[in-house]
Structure 1
Amino acid sequence: MNWFVLGLAGLVEIAWAQSIKPTQNFTRPLPTLLSLALMAVAVWLLSYAMRTLPVGTAYAVFTGIGAVGAIALGIVVHKDPLSAGRLIALTLIVAGIVLARVTSPE
């Protein structure tokens, strides 16, 4: 169950990362409130998952999911460039997340 919550926290982190730019340096009130709310939910879900998961593993998986999602959305939505190096980096991050999951006690 806590691995599911951790995955959900990672997805909320992706949404949070995408919500930062529309705040325009936190000068727009509604986008800023949305961004802060997403941040709070992501951290709350992470802390909930850490009740039984090792802190280091949970945080690494959380940030890994966020990084992969942010890069993927950047490529798909914002037309960020895709290179062999970025693909290799994404593959390594995903492999690290999978390895952390399969080797971590719950």
Structure 2
Amino acid sequence: MSWLILLASGVLEAVWATALGRSDGFTRLTPSIVFGVALVGSMAGLAVAMKDLPIGTAYAVWLASALR
């Protein structure tokens, strides 16, 4: 289950990075809200996954899944 949470967190990391760019300095409401929700979800999922997985492995997979 930790692996699925980790992969979902990686996808959310790509979502918040994209939303950050589209928020135009947080002047656009919808991308700013998407950014905040995706950021919290991504970090929370990474934290949950790191309870069962080694930190280095979890971070590498989280980052790699965001780059796809």
Normalised-by-shorter TM-score class:
0.7 to 0.9
SS in 1 for 2:30: helix
Cα RMSD between the aligned structures?
1.2
Q: State the match for 1:57 in structure 2.
A: 57
Q: Distance in 2 between matches of 1:25 and 1:53?
A: 35
Q: Could you give the per-residue CA deviations for residues 48-104 of structure 1, whole angstroms, max 9, x where no partner exists? A: 1011101111011111111x22xxxxxxxxxxxxxxxxxxxxxxxxxxxxxxxxxxx
Q: Distance in 2 between matches of 1:15 and 1:29?
A: 15
TM alignment of 1:1-106, pairs within 5 A: 1-66=1-66, 68-69=67-68
TM value normalised by structure 2:
0.87
The alpha-carbon deviation at position 28 of structure 1 amounts to: 2.0
The number of aligned residues is 68
The alpha-carbon deviation at position 21 of structure 1 amounts to: 1.5
Which structure has the larger Rg over C-alpha atoms? 1
Q: Distance in 2 between matches of 1:5 and 1:34?
A: 19
Q: Unaligned stretches of 5+ in structure 1? A: 70-106
The alpha-carbon deviation at position 41 of structure 1 amounts to: 0.4
The alpha-carbon deviation at position 32 of structure 1 amounts to: 1.1
Q: Could you give the per-residue CA deviations for residues 32-51 of structure 1, whole angstroms, max 9, x where no partner exists? A: 12201100100001101011
Q: Unaligned stretches of 5+ in structure 2? A: none
Which amino acid counterpart does residue 16 of structure 2 have in structure 1? W
| Percent of residue pairs bearing the same amino acid type | 32
TM value normalised by structure 1:
0.59
